A and B are shown apart, each in its own frame.
Chain A
Amino acid sequence: MDWVNDVIQGILTGGLYALFACGLSLMFGVMKVVNLAHGDLAVIGGYVALAVITITHIPVLWSFVIVVPIMAGFGYVLQRTLIQAALDRGVLTTLIVTFGLSVVIENALLQFVNANSHSLGTGNSIITSSFSIGSQIQIAYLLLLIFVVAVVVLLSLQYFLSASKYGRMIRAVADDKEAAQLSGIDYRHVFGIAAAIAFGTVALAGIGYGMYSQFSPTTGTDTILLFAFAAVVIGGLGSLWGTLVGGVVLGVAQEIGSQINQSDQLLAGYIVFLVVLVIRPQGLTTRRAQS
């Protein structure tokens, strides 16, 4: 029964990882930007939520109503200025700029906030309580909620991309931005919208992570970026549902790893990542190799 419990816990945590990963995947899919500051943005989301909750006394579960638009706006502005400027100059510059951004964000948080760990919504009964199935399996309401949110986000993103006007524009720009430009689409604006969506989802993930665990300035690079990336690669580059599969596989691997040895949780996840890289470099869900 322990194993069943691990798998269930892993699947649910996988939802959180997928939520982290879908922004990374979207930005790569549309703009070909690998955002090395992605994890730090989730941490910023956590800190913004902390500030919003302290100032407005809004319930933690509803903090996303304020935090997600703030981060989405930030994403649009950052994409239209810094990231677009880097993109115009090439892949190498984009990597350097986002890596620089990551280091700057992390150290600015260390300098201006502090190195302490924070968490959101401690003492909130919905967040801390759980229900049990049988005698062995305990499911935290929070994890279930995060998983449901992840699935809803991925579903609506899928629907948005395939059915809405802006979704069509995003797909057109992702396919060929010059051709889209010729058809009258301002690809920079579309890039901005895609970045806003990515930043919104990562803010959501940051809030979820803040309730589920603790975050500090270094969490973004130590944990979140690498988990998100592992989920993307395991699932298959550029596939939205792949990120959910990848997140779930990573989560299950970590839970099983921690069952074998408490300290092996992270190592187990990364070993699965490396095995997938060796056996199926194109990821578990995609058929064709993508470079």
Chain B
Amino acid sequence: MSVVTETTARSEENYRVTRSRRNVAWTWIGALVVVVVLALFPYIVYSGTTTIMVQAFIVLTLASMWNLMAGYAGLVSVGQQAFVGLGAYFVLLLALHGLSPFGGLPVAAIGCGVAAVPLWWLVSRLRSGYFAIATWVLATTVMLFIEKFPSLGSGTGMPLPGLSGYSPTLLVAYTYWIGLAVTVLALGTVYLLLRGRLGLVLTAIRDDEGAARSSGARVGLARMLVFVIAAIGCGAAGGVLAISQLIVQPSAVFSVQWTAEMAFAVIIGGLGTIEGPILGTAVYIILQQTLASYNAWYLIILGLVAIVIALFARRGLWGLVDEHLHVRLFPVGYWLWAPGSNGRRGLRLRLRLRRGERHS
């Protein structure tokens, strides 16, 4: 923050500070075009493609949420499957009481957010690595608890009712659109949050927690907010999963594999950037589709790639793109224009960079 105020003070010397090097309006128009084109997909492509796209939407939503937690709030959760499962089960529960799964999805997502508050109270007592395993234990506990309800199919799960009225083609299209809507909302929320006050607080915490605390940043509250938002996002993704699978099985929706997928997508794409999860999801889906016939191979390769990237290219694939092209699709940092600069040689404020990683 201090950097920003300093530069505004010197603005009479023709320094300018903007969010992006380019006009932000173009980003918005570009995003709008992409969303409209994606929304038209069910009319253009085969249903096989839309099914893969729904999977991509689920992974992208999950990855964006995991990125918000790990990349910005420093919360490494290995138990996000708790909320994927809860979202799916809330949709099932509402559908059993006559609410359409499509109508029940927002309610289910909010329900996950509400459930996240007491769960946060439990796991926030532990830090970093122990926090990670605690979330995992919690996810398993939630699964074991839900398996105790015969009305929800106990340990075997049950088919999702309330979707038999739709024709198969229409159902595929609706599933696709709700998946797209959830993803757009998730990305939009993350973007707006990080541009706002929470984004500043989170950056301050990440750079120096003690200093952030003493400057009055409410660290605990910010972290809880992120945990709850991530729960809502993962719950919504879980709801989309239930609708696209037409069945809710505890071992499938509460599988730790969801966390593996979201974490690897984020690490490969680039932790701590909004663009990273998008790129990572694309890599994930391509790997998964290419290696689909080789069973467990795609997770082995995904895991190895994630390890290598975590060690040797810590800013992920998007970091490599950013380093060479200086592109930001979702500018949440700031750009400093030196007097008389044309932008190409503009001094860049890497406010969002990890401490000790500041180049240029």
| A contacts, CB < 8 Å to B | 28, 32-34, 36, 82, 85-86, 89, 91-97, 99-101, 103-104, 107-108, 110-111, 221, 225-226, 229-230, 233, 237, 263, 266-267, 270-271, 273-274, 277-278, 281, 291
Q: Which residue of B lies closest to A267 (CB)?
A: B144
Asked if A221 contacts B310 (CB within 8 A), the reply is: no
Q: Does B260 make an interface contact (CB < 8 A)? A: yes
**Known A271-B141, A274-B141: A100·B295 in contact at CB below 8 Å:** no
Chain B, range 118-147, C-beta contacts under 8 Å to A: 122, 125-130, 132-134, 136-138, 140-141, 144-145, 147
How many residues on B have C-beta within 8 angstroms of the other chain's C-beta atoms? 42
Tell me the complex Cα distance, A233–B132, Å.
Answer: 13
| Chain A residues within 8 Å of B295, by CB | 110-111
Contact at B130–A233, with CB atoms within 8 Å? yes
Residue on B nearest A266 in the bound complex, by CB = B144
State the CA gap A281–B306 with chains docked (Å): 32
Residue pair B303, A33 in contact (C-beta under 8 Å): no
Residues on A with beta carbons closer than 8 Å to the beta carbon of B127? 291
B307 A111 Cβ-Cβ under 8 A:
no
Answer whether A108 and B300 are a contact pair too, CB < 8 Å, given A34-B133, A103-B260.
yes
Q: Is the CB of B303 within 8 A of A104?
A: yes
Chain A residue with the shortest CB-CB distance to B132: A95
Main secondary structure of the interface of B (DSSP, over half): helix
Whether the pair A91, B263 counts as a contact (CB closer than 8 A) is no
Known A233-B126, A270-B140; contact A34-B310, beta-carbon cutoff 8 A: no
A33 & B129 in contact (Cβ 8 Å cutoff): yes
C-alpha spacing A291/B125, complex, angstroms = 9
Closest to A32 in B: B129
Chain A residues with Cβ under 8 A from B256's Cβ? 221
A-B contact pairs, 29 of them (CB 8 A): A28-B129, A33-B129, A36-B129, A36-B132, A89-B310, A92-B76, A93-B310, A93-B314, A96-B306, A97-B310, A97-B311, A100-B307, A103-B260, A103-B300, A103-B302, A104-B299, A104-B300, A107-B303, A108-B296, A225-B133, A226-B133, A229-B133, A229-B136, A229-B137, A237-B130, A270-B137, A271-B141, A281-B125, A291-B127
Contact A281 B126 (CB under 8 A): yes
A100 and B306 contacting across the interface, CB-CB below 8 Å: yes
Which residues from A are CB-within-8-Å of B125?
277-278, 281
Encoded as 1 (CB less than 8 Å from any A CB) or 0, chain B from 10 to 37 comes to 0000000000000000000000000000
Leading 8 A-B pairs by shortest Cβ distance: A34-B129, A107-B296, A104-B303, A281-B125, A100-B307, A103-B303, A270-B141, A111-B296
Q: How far is the CB of B91 from chain A (nearest CB, A)?
A: 24
B263 contacts across to A, CB distance below 8 A: 96, 99
| In the assembled complex, B321 has its CB within 8 A of some CB on chain A | no
Assess the B78–A92 pair: CB atoms within 8 A.
no
- Residue from B122, B129, B144, B264 in contact with A277 in the complex, judged by beta carbons closer than 8 Å: B122
How far, in whole Å, are A99 and B299 apart by their CA atoms in the complex? 12
